[in-house]
Structure 1
Amino acid sequence: MVDRELLLQTAAALRHARRILIITGAGLSADSGLPTYRGVGGLYNAKTADGLPIEMALSGPMLRRDPALCWKYIAELGRACLGAQPNAAHYAIAQLQRLKPECWVLTQNVDGYHRAAGSPPERLIEIHGQLAPLFCQSCGAVDPELSEHLQRPLPPLCKHCHGVLRPPVVLFEEMLPERALETLYEEMAKGFDAVLSIGTTASFPYIHEPVLRTRVSGGFTAEINPTPTDHSAGMDVFLGCRALEVMEELVSHI
């Protein structure tokens, strides 16, 4: 049962805020049917079918050493993402961005659902990249046919030079996209009046730092998650539920 007093408190804070940051993780897209990496319904709660930790199988070094094995797990993610679509919470976030021209989204998700739901790309920071379009590691040619390649033998190869294709996603042991990081820190330097964290444990420093900075500067912080995380107790508001249950109503009060 959602605590309505806390929901209305969050709505009021967002209504009065000018600069807002929405942080989203796998829990947001779980309501679209996508599995999270870990926890309930986790895609990789233990070792993979190949007996490897997912951090090794789905890594940059593995893509170079054994492209077919790495692509086996990239393809799992790809099929899951292509087999689902944005949910009402994604659309509510996009609506909030329309209402608040200085509302940004920082997402760990690579499914592209924020874009599909209408979030403006210029205020969307996809810190872990996205699954499409593919590009060739050898010649750099772009290939938009992710879904077609998932029906063919893996790894997918470039039409021009037969090099191995890959998605512009951050695999384990790879660096974050430089431009996305620059944008995040540029916006953090300007400060946020409110930060709303949705469906993430915020375990990475670059995800939790905006929350800490906003809290220190006197801004409002809130979290939406079915179960508390390590950071829940420090938030101004914790809503113990799924985003799908509250986001539409939350935005309706703004």
Structure 2
Amino acid sequence: MDEVIARVAQAIAAAERILVITGAGLSADSGLPTYRGLGGLYNGHTAEGLPIEAALSGPMLQRDPALCWKYLAELGKACLGAQANAGHHAIAELQRRKPGCWLLTQNIDGYHRAAGSPMERVIEIHGELAPLYCQSCGAVDPELSEHLKRPLPPRCRQCAGVLRPPVVLFEEMLPEQAIARLYAELRQGFEVVLSVGTSASFPYIVEPVLRTRQAGGLCVEINPDSTDLSALVEVHLAGRALDVLPKLLSHI
């Protein structure tokens, strides 16, 4: 393991353009539940008998905002109750050392921002939980934690419309700006791609890996378990990001 970490660290040290992709596994190390673990939903269904994907969907926010917000609030409380871990801080430090290091995250918890990652090189492909904004008049409301103590759904102070977070719910489109930014960087290419704590086989996760490998770059997965990505990468580092990433950094 140490030899492999040293080899990966050497490739990172020599690279100018690096992409770090992060998913729920990184924040799970902070104690944050994944969508399926939300509010004890280990079978993937809510108390109302709905799949969690239906409860946390764009159509549900329109049809029954109180129900959707019941589970958004669980997520919000979990995010506010935890904090960035050593993995987030190691990525932020790598970005400080490497001005060509970009971060693509599926996470909405804001921990990369809290750890100090330069936001001009962070692509939040699923948005984030704050600040809230009004669906009716567009007014911005930064008081997520205060709203979570009040009856749900949260309402706009100006027009009483339902507030929502700037996050991509199930059945909603990915933000065009984030997708455009990702593909603009992909066109320039990356020498190293690190996939951290994600098992997702979405095109925007797989494509950077495939493109980089085809161009002769190094693709590395950091995950305790094998995933759909494992067969596509050159190196699989089995372990938690908060353990593996600081070790990697210590070799650079």
Q: TM-score scaled to structure 1, two decimals?
A: 0.96
Aligned match for 1:95, one of 93, 97, 116: 93
Q: Which residue of 1 aligns with 2:152?
A: 154
Q: Does 1:130 align with 2:103?
A: no
Q: Which residue of 2 aligns with 1:55?
A: 53
Instruction: Kindly state the Cα deviation for residue 37 of structure 1 after the two structures are TM-superposed.
Output: 2.9
Question: Structure 2 counterpart of 1:229, which letter?
Answer: T
Contact 1:23 1:198 in 2 (8 A): yes
Q: Does 1:192 align with 2:190?
A: yes
In structure 1, the gaps of 5 or more residues are none
Q: Pairwise mapping of residues 152-191 of structure 1 onto structure 2 (< 5 A)? A: 152-191=150-189
Contact 2:94 2:249 in 1 (8 A): yes
Distance (Å, rounded) in 1 between the aligned partners of 2:214 and 2:36: 30
Contact 1:36 1:43 in 2 (8 A): no
Q: Which runs of 4+ in 1 moved over 4 A?
A: 41-44
Q: Which residue of 2 aligns with 1:245?
A: 243
Distance (Å, rounded) in 1 between the aligned partners of 2:36 and 2:146: 28
Instruction: Kindly state the Cα deviation for residue 6 of structure 1 after the two structures are TM-superposed.
Output: 1.3
Instruction: Kindly state the Cα deviation for residue 38 of structure 1 after the two structures are TM-superposed.
Output: 4.3
Question: Structure 2 counterpart of 1:35, which letter?
Answer: P
Distance (Å, rounded) in 1 between the aligned partners of 2:41 and 2:88: 21
Distance (Å, rounded) in 2 between the aligned partners of 1:233 and 1:133: 38
Question: Structure 2 counterpart of 1:131, which letter?
Answer: L
Distance (Å, rounded) in 2 between the aligned partners of 1:186 and 1:104: 12
Instruction: Kindly state the Cα deviation for residue 43 of structure 1 after the two structures are TM-superposed.
Output: 4.8
Change (3 A) 1:43 1:21: farther
Instruction: Kindly state the Cα deviation for residue 228 of structure 1 after the two structures are TM-superposed.
Output: 0.5
- For 1:1-50, what per-residue CA distance to the aligned partner results, in whole angstroms no more than 9, with x for missing partners? xx1111111111111111000000000011111012348x9855321111
Contact 1:34 1:81 in 2 (8 A): yes
CA RMSD, aligned part only?
A: 1.3
Give the secondary structure class of the aligned counterpart of 2:35.
coil
Give the secondary structure class of the aligned counterpart of 1:233.
coil
Distance (Å, rounded) in 2 between the aligned partners of 1:114 and 1:45: 29
- For 1:117-149, what per-residue CA distance to the aligned partner results, in whole angstroms no more than 9, with x for missing partners? 000010000000000000000000000000000
Question: Structure 2 counterpart of 1:88, which letter?
Answer: A
Distance (Å, rounded) in 2 between the aligned partners of 1:123 and 1:176: 18
Q: Does 1:31 align with 2:29?
A: yes
Q: Pairwise mapping of residues 96-115 of structure 1 onto structure 2 (< 5 A)? A: 96-115=94-113
Change (3 A) 1:178 1:16: same
**Aligned length, in residue pairs:** 251
- For 1:102-121, what per-residue CA distance to the aligned partner results, in whole angstroms no more than 9, with x for missing partners? 10000000000000000001
Instruction: Kindly state the Cα deviation for residue 88 of structure 1 after the two structures are TM-superposed.
Output: 0.7
Distance (Å, rounded) in 2 between the aligned partners of 1:15 and 1:38: 37
Distance (Å, rounded) in 2 between the aligned partners of 1:228 and 1:10: 18
Percent identity, please. 73
Q: TM-score scaled to structure 2, two decimals?
A: 0.97
